[in-house]
């Protein structure tokens, strides 16, 4: 047998296999059948960011409620959670398993900028619907299969600064930030508002997410004479910064990211200082103790279906990211397809569940620009000091 | 620049690093093993105290005492069950075993107490502050750190210099076989070193945790700094380690104030430079290689 014949013998079956696979995939409606719709989410159920794992479990609450009511157009939602330990390499492994083996139709949520970035291209190539990645980083724009809900960190920095300057009258503002894209994006917002008010940022001081001694950074903040400090960092560093400031006799008004608006948890890890010092945070949901019919319905369902879960802000955020998928699936009707759900999501207009008011179009999948500002009250209760307010400054 | 403030804070954190560096040095002095599980062992024992206070409502001092006893037993357990069974171990092999122990205990702590952050409170509060000089604040916590570090170092000095056990530990470090010949039970000395190291480690960890936070990884960063302080101090010298810790704390605080973005690496750069000039550390009298 000469080389030509050997090649033909190997090549022909290979080509048949490839073309038959493509053909089969094109005909298959991936992610659902007559009885179920498969939905997935990754999130840290263990490891250093396990506190944020409640988001994935919060989505499960909504899907359980939907299934309890008979599903959507006769189909139950089958929901998968993959624990990635906040580690992007594990996120990829979990997502590939869900897409390739479990055949999921859509993803909701997904904690972490780096984790989301690790799988963004893969999900996009596979045209998987993805709603509400849990980060406000700008790296997720221009993906036609991703609808964003987590407010842009630029808007967050701007609204916190606007509240400090225009509502509270502070002129001396300093900035303490996590030394990555999160801190950098929000700093643009802080500076934009200060510039608009003819003010200068006194100082911008970085912290690393692994640092445990922040005394030099806080001493420097203190030396600036700042009346208010905008903080964009993880809970651990925020708690250590506050403890250090108190031990140095430095008591500015702290205004932090919406990622730290779980006042119960933050007060607990700061020996109650979060409440005592009246720390403020941005927020993009109503308070968890809000007395609205929908919030009461979810709270009662959580007590019944997930009695071991704490009704906290991260758990609620899981419900928030799952709501638009349920709306779209209901709207599409029994003739389900990926394109139909995409079109339904693209036509969401001024709609609100227990999260922010959402409007998406075919060309705009950006998150809402409205946020609230909350203050932790003396008994860890939520005080809304600034109702929904939109950042009208242009995004960079 | 608030010189006095930075000095006090730098020395206080440096004393914590120095104390924890002592935990590393005590094991190194007897067996020349760097214990990479030191941080996680201290975390484990701190969680025991936390558990007793939070879940059983015991007073701090009882929980502290219990944690010290637990730490001592944990140290002996590690030596007896993980290091001693190793047959003809190389130094590298022993170090790898300590890394394995670190992973094992880290997993155990996460499983039992989850990765959630917690607050660990000691009677010396960082919220009670004094003003010894105008504009210079010193917390009760910092005062406690200085006093505890001074007491421990003084006791250690007398222990190694004047007690039979301390002398036996030094003899074991210098020549294990000769120590055996003169009747020293070296296996017991190793077990005791691990217990001793673990007790000092948890004392330092509790001080650090009460000022920062309690979670399964809270000693990761301090361990690296304590290890660097121990290297800077010469790995054999007790006062050297404490001085190394103080230098680490001061460098970090002053450079961290002047150039915050460079803070995480400044101290390590200085250490590399120092070791280039004095490879056996600042306070080692001479470099001794065992044969």
pLDDT (0 to 100) of residue A26:
41
What would the mean pLDDT of A373-391 be, rounded to a whole number? 94
Chain A residues near residue B211 by CB distance under 8 angstroms: 240, 243-244, 247
CATH number of B3-277: 1.10.3470
Query: In CATH terms, are A36-151+289-365 and A153-283+373-390 the same topology?
Result: yes
Q: Could you give the C-alpha distances from B112 to A46, A53, A132, B60, B220, in angstroms and in order?
A: 12, 17, 32, 21, 19
CATH 3.40.50.2300 corresponds to the domain A36-151+289-365: yes
Contact A243 B126 (CB under 8 A): yes
Contact B126 A220 (CB under 8 A): no
Q: Could you give the C-alpha distances from A27 to A100, A130, A145, A341, in angstroms and in order?
A: 16, 22, 20, 18
Cβ atoms B79, B194 nearer than 8 A:
yes
A153-283+373-390, superfamily in CATH? Response regulator (3.40.50.2300)
Residue A383's pLDDT band (cuts 50, 70, 90): very high
Element (H, E) at B138: strand B136-139
- Apex CA A80: angle with CA A263 and CA A313, to 5°? 10
Chain B residues near residue A240 by CB distance under 8 angstroms: 211-213
Q: What is the pTM of this model?
A: 0.86
Dihedral Cα A61, A64, A65, A68, nearest 10 deg: -160
Q: ipTM beyond 0.95?
A: no
Task: Using DSSP, state whether B17 is helix, strand or coil.
Answer: helix
Residues 6+ apart with CB under 8 A from A51: A235, A265, A314, B115, B116, B117
**Which of A207-211, A239-243, A378-382, B211-215 shows the lowest per-residue confidence on average (mean pLDDT)?**
A207-211
What would the mean pLDDT of A279-292 be, rounded to a whole number? 92
Tokens of A225: 């004479």
pLDDT in tens, B245-291: 999 999 999 999 999 988 888 877 877 888 888 887 777 665 555 54
What would the mean pLDDT of A156-164 be, rounded to a whole number? 97
- Whether the pLDDT of residue A9 is over 70: the answer is no
Q: Where are the beta strands (DSSP E) in chain A?
A: 36-43, 76-83, 106-108, 129-131, 146-147, 173-178, 204-207, 228-232, 253-256, 280-283, 370-376, 382-390
DSSP string, A361-381: -SS--PPP-EEEEEEE-TTS-
Query: Distance (Å, rounded) from C-alpha A293 to C-alpha A15?
Result: 58
DSSP string, A129-186: EEE--B---GGG-S-TTEE--SPPHHHHHHHHHHIIIIIT----EEEEEETTHHHHHH
Nearest to B115 among A46, A208, A244 (CB): A46
The domains of chain A are located at 36-151+289-365, 153-283+373-390
Residue A209's pLDDT band (cuts 50, 70, 90): confident
Summary mean pLDDT of chain B: 89
Residue A27's pLDDT band (cuts 50, 70, 90): very low
| Chain A closest-CA separation from residue B206 CA (Å) | 14
Query: Distance (Å, rounded) from C-alpha B38 to C-alpha B23?
Result: 7
pLDDT (0 to 100) of residue A292:
93
- Whether the pLDDT of residue A225 is over 90: the answer is yes
Contact B215 A239 (CB under 8 A): no
Chain B residues near residue A235 by CB distance under 8 angstroms: 117
Residue A13's pLDDT band (cuts 50, 70, 90): low
Task: Using DSSP, state whether A315 is helix, strand or coil.
Answer: helix
pLDDT (0 to 100) of residue A7:
58
Cβ atoms A178, A156 nearer than 8 A:
no
DSSP string, B67-99: HHHHHHHHHHHHIIIIITT-SS--HHHHHHHHH
The domains of chain B are located at 3-277
Q: Tell me how far apart the terminal alpha carbons of chain B are, to the nearest angstrom.
A: 51
pLDDT in tens, B154-179: 998 899 889 999 899 888 888 888 98
- Whether the pLDDT of residue A24 is over 50: the answer is no
Chain B residues near residue A273 by CB distance under 8 angstroms: 127
């Amino acid at each position: 047998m000469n080389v030509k014949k050997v090649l033909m013998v190997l090549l022909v079956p290979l080509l048949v296999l490839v073309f038959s696979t493509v053909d089969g995939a094109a005909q298959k409606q991936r992610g659902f059948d007559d009885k179920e719709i498969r939905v997935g989410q990754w999130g840290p159920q263990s490891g250093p960011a396990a506190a944020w794992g409640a988001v994935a479990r919060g989505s499960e609450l909504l899907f359980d409620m939907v299934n309890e009511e008979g599903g959507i157009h006769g189909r139950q939602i089958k929901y998968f959670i993959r624990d990635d330990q906040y580690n992007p390499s594990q996120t990829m492994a979990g997502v590939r398993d869900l897409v390739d083996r479990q055949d999921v139709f859509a993803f909701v949520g997904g904690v972490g900028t780096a984790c989301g970035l690790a799988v963004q291209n893969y999900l996009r190539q596979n045209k998987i619907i993805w709603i509400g990645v849990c980060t406000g980083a700008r790296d997720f724009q221009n993906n036609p299969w991703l609808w964003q809900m987590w407010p842009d960190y630029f808007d967050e920095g701007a609204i916190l600064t606007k509240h400090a300057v225009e509502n509270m009258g502070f002129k001396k503002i300093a900035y303490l930030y996590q030394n990555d894209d999160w801190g950098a994006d929000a700093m643009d917002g802080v500076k934009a508002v200060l510039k608009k008010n003819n003010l200068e940022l006194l100082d911008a001081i970085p912290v690393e997410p692994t640092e445990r001694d922040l005394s030099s950074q806080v001493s420097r903040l203190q030396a600036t004479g700042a009346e208010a400090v905008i903080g964009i960092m993880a809970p651990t560093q925020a708690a250590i910064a506050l403890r250090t400031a108190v031990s140095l006799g430095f008591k500015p008004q702290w205004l932090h990211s919406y990622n730290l608006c779980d006042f119960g948890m933050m007060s607990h890890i700061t020996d109650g200082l979060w409440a005592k010092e009246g720390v403020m945070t941005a927020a993009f949901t109503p308070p968890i103790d809000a007395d609205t019919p929908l919030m009461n319905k979810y709270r009662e369902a959580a007590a019944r279906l997930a009695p071991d879960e704490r009704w906290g802000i991260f758990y609620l955020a899981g419900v928030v990211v799952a709501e638009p998928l349920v709306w779209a699936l209901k709207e599409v009707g029994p003739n389900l397809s990926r394109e139909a759900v995409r079109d339904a999501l693209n036509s969401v207009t001024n709609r609100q569940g227990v999260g922010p008011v959402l409007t998406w179009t075919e060309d705009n999948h950006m998150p809402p620009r409205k946020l609230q500002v909350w203050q932790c009250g003396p008994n860890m209760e939520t005080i809304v000091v600034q109702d929904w307010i939109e950042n009208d400054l242009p995004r960079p | 620049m608030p010189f006095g403030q930075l000095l006090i804070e730098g020395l206080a954190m440096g004393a914590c690093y120095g104390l924890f560096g002592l935990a590393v040095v005590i094991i190194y002095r007897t067996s020349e093993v760097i214990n990479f599980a030191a941080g996680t062992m201290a975390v484990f024992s701190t969680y025991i105290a936390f558990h007793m206070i939070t879940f059983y409502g015991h007073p701090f001092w009882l929980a502290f005492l219990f944690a010290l006893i637990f730490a001592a037993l944990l140290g002996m357990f590690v030596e007896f069950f993980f290091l001693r069974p190793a047959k003809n171990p190389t130094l590298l092999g022993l170090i790898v075993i300590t890394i394995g122990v670190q992973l094992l205990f880290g997993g155990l702590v996460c499983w039992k107490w989850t990765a959630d952050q917690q607050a660990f409170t000691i009677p010396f509060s960082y919220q009670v502050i004094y003003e010894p000089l105008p504009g210079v604040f010193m917390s009760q916590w910092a005062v406690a750190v200085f006093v505890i570090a001074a007491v421990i170092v003084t006791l250690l000095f007398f222990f190694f210099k004047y007690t039979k056990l301390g002398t036996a530990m030094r003899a074991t470090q210098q020549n294990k076989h000769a120590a055996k010949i003169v009747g020293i039970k070296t296996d017991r000395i190793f077990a005791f070193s691990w217990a001793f190291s673990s007790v000092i480690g948890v004392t330092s960890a509790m001080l650090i945790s009460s000022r920062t936070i309690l979670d399964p990884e809270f000693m990761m960063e301090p361990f690296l700094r304590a290890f660097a302080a121990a290297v800077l101090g010469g790995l054999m010298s007790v006062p050297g380690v404490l001085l190394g810790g103080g230098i680490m704390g001061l460098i970090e605080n002053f450079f961290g104030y002047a150039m915050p973005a460079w803070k995480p690496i400044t101290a390590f750069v200085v250490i590399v430079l120092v070791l280039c000039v004095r490879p056996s550390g600042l306070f080692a009298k001479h470099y001794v290689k065992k044969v």
